[in-house]
Each structure stands twice: as C-alpha cells, then as structure tokens.
Amino acid sequence: MLTHQQFGTSVDDAPAAADAEQARRPLRIAVIGTGYLGAVHAACMAYQGHSVVAVDADAGKAAALAAGRPPFFEPGLEELLAEVAPTGRLTFTTDYALTAGSDVFFLCVGTPQQQGGYAADTTYVYAAARSVAPYLTSDSLVVGKSTVPIGTAAAVRDTMAALAPAEVTVRLVWNPEFLREGVAIQDTLHPDRFVYGVQGPTAEADIALLDRVYATSLADGTPRVVTDYVTAEMVKTAANSFLATKISFINAMAEICESAGGDVVKLAEAIGHDERIGRKFLGAGVGFGGGCLPKDIRAFRARAEELGLGQSLAFLHEVDGINQRRRDRVVDLVAQLSGGGHAGVRVAILGAAFKPHSDDVRDSPALSIAAALQDRGAHVRVFDPKAMPNAKHVAPQLQYAADMWDACADADVVAVLTEWPEFRTADPVALANVVRRPVIIDGRNALPGSAWTAAGWTYHALGRAAAASALPRKDSHS
C-alpha cells in the first residue's frame, strides 16, 4: 500500500471548498507512449484521480503494464501500478480509438539520437501527433512532454491541424519533462517546476486546462513558468547541457588532480560551499551516461548548427570529449595497475546501468569500459543488481556473472563503475579472499578508500592521488 509520505496526496484528500473541488475534478487523459516517461506519467496521473488511457504500439509492453509488470526497473512503479489497478482509472492498450473523448492528450514518446548523426530523431513524435489528430476536438488539448529540437512544437501543431477534423481548432502546449531515473515518481508528483510553452488565441484556456491536470502539485506550491514554444523546447536541453558541463568540469579538474597530486573530492567540497556553485553534480568519476544527457547535448549542438549558431554551443563538444576521456582513463588504469598491458588480465566490472536504482544501460560508461577492455584482450566479467537483462541485450559479447562475488572470483582488477549500495558497502576483507590480486578502481569515488587499503587492497580513485586516506564522496550525482 502506498503511503502519502511516499507519493503525496491522493484523490481521496480533495479539499472541501467548492472552487478547489472544481479545480481538482478528474479529467480524461490519454498518454501516448508507455516507455519510461509515459508509463510513469500515466500511473501518476491515475493515482491523482484522473481517468487515463495509455497507448503504445508495442502490444507486449502494453500487456505487461496492464498486468502490473513494468518492462523496466523504476523504484516504486510496480507498487504504484498495483495501487491504481483496483480503481479502474488506468488502461493500457494499443488501440488509439480508446482515446476518443479525452480532455488532454500527452505525447510521451522517445526522441533518440539519429542513426549516423547527432540530431534528435523526432519520428515518434510526429507519428504520435498524426495518430491522435483524428480524435481531437476544439475542447481537447495536446501536451507535448518529449524532449525535442527547437521548432518542433509549431511543426507538430501544423501536422495535427492538417489531419484533425475540419472544424477543430488544434490546441497544443509544450510541457517538458524533468524526470530523474530512480526517483521518477517523486519527480512527477512533486516536481520542482512546471513549464508551459503556449501560443495562439487559446493560450489562456490551454493554461487553465493544464492547471487542472496538475492541480494537486500546483496546490502544493510547485512553481509554474509560462512561456513560448521555443523557450519551452529549450528548457530541458539547456538544463541538461548545464548539468553535463558541471560534471565534465569537475572531471577536467580530476585529470589535473591525478597528474599534480591533488584530491578532486576535497576540491569539489571546497568549491561546493560557494552558494553560487553548490555541491550537486560535482561528483568526479567515469562521467555521465544514460538516455538524456549525452543525447541531449549532441542534439542541442546539432540543432544550433542547423540554425547557423554552432559556435554558441561549441563548448559542448569539449564537454562530451571530457566525458569520453574518463572512460578511456579507466581502461588505461587497468593496464597501468596490471603491469602495463590488458591481455589476459581478469577484470571484474561492478555495474552496468548508467546510474544506480535504474536498469537503463543506454550509453552506459560501465558497459563502454567493459567492451573496450575486452577488445584489448582482457577477460571481463560484469555484474549489476538490476540491469543484467538489458546489458546482455545490448552487449551480448561480454561475460556476465551471477553476483558480485562471482564477478570478482580470481579477478586481477575490480572496477566499481556504478555506485549501487551493495558495492559501496561491500566488505573489502571478505572480497579480498576471492580475488587473485586485491586491486580496485573506484570509478565513482564512492568507496571508503582507507578501509580498502587497510584490508590490503591497492586502491585507486579517479582524481585522487592520496588513495590510502580517501573518504567516499557524499553525493552520487555523476
């Protein structure tokens, strides 16, 4: 049973005041796309009392979600689906006809990086827009949540206008998502802001209708920024570009610290006390990955080039480059700590997901490093608590272990590349008994280095020369 402390106020807690009751009256919502964004959004909207139909072209995915079995790992999602299932407010289907009569249509499809290029592939966005257009009325509102290039919203609206019934005025708001994997439910129910990109004569009515969708969160004090389409389209990519830049900045400092004998964790702590900078996203390590930051900074650069503004975002090329160099550094470290070469070295890779509390392996630093080591002749074994099925799918050439102990058996080097709690709290004394050589690379600055060195390990953390006295960093934002 979900608690209010976990997921906030449910529909049963509606206030007694008549105006508040009207503002919170449940709406009929359609969610197009049931991937990571769409499935979480649909479940949360149903939890807050709306009647939701979620559509996906993948019948297997829709069936799994309807049965309460998410096809990906997100903490709390399975429990949330179980909570809303008895209410009858949430339906998963492949049939767009079931969206007829919806008040609001959310477009929650992916925008992956284009094959052979850096630009975002908006194929799924336009396909979703074309699919919902026949079911629109002048009273319904389409809300785009996907991360898209500048200019997409207006083009999507025109696409729908050409396909909607002749008498319909197509209404569109661009409302970017800001979910973090691992805390997506919290971010949906208690976001740090809403952004509405509006345009045209129905803008005020569009704002009012979307306010009704988010009434619970707005009543809890979530700020709302109303702007134009272009600005709304830029918000997510600009935010991710800033975060990626901050991570690559501290990783550039790590390169200097390693060479000059400094400690990047202490450096980050010191500069993080400056309130203009802050400590978050100053966690040096193997860098960022996943389905957002790498893709978004590349797509942002590509769109800027198309607009003749490539120089404005040229710095993102170096941000990306620094991020890739940290992966190369781990590959080099394995050789350095193994007598100068990779051939025949047994390496335990702890982690496959790009971050803990997720099974997402898209652009995973851990898998990238594992593959590079294997290509150089190392014998690699990988273990991750949640991401093994996805890892085996995208990197079937690698060897996978049953658990952490199996991965580390007879290893010459252990590399912690995803900071799962079970890796952070592993017993260095017990683990020393199963490896061939007690050598560990702390790729996330997540381990208590002094405890590992006291247990007889050769310990190396990225960006820290004085490994023996190292303490783990407090955050895990890289």
Q: Which residues are annotated as catalytic?
A: 292
Per 3-state DSSP, the chain is made up of helix, strand and coil in percentages (nearest 5) of: 45, 15, 40
Q: How many residues does the chain have?
A: 478
Q: How far apart are the first and last CA of the chain?
A: 32
Structural tokens at position 226 = 């109303």
For 368, the 3-state DSSP assignment is helix
CA 177 to CA 395: how far, in whole Å?
Answer: 29
Q: Give the rounded distance of the alpha carbon of 92 from its chain centre.
A: 23
Strand partners, 348: 381, 414
- For Cα atoms 342, 348, 353, give the angle at the middle one, nearest 5 degrees: 115
Find out whether 73 and 359 touch, Cβ atoms under 8 Å.
Answer: yes
User: In terms of C-beta distances under 8 Å and separation of at least 24 residues, what long-range contacts does 309-314 make, across chains too?
Assistant: 313/241
User: Strands 28-32 and 51-55: what pairing?
Assistant: parallel
The span from the CA of 190 to the CA of 169, in Å, is: 32
Token pair listed for 336: 């350095």
- Give, in degrees to the nearest 5, the angle at Cα 10 between 5 and 12: 125
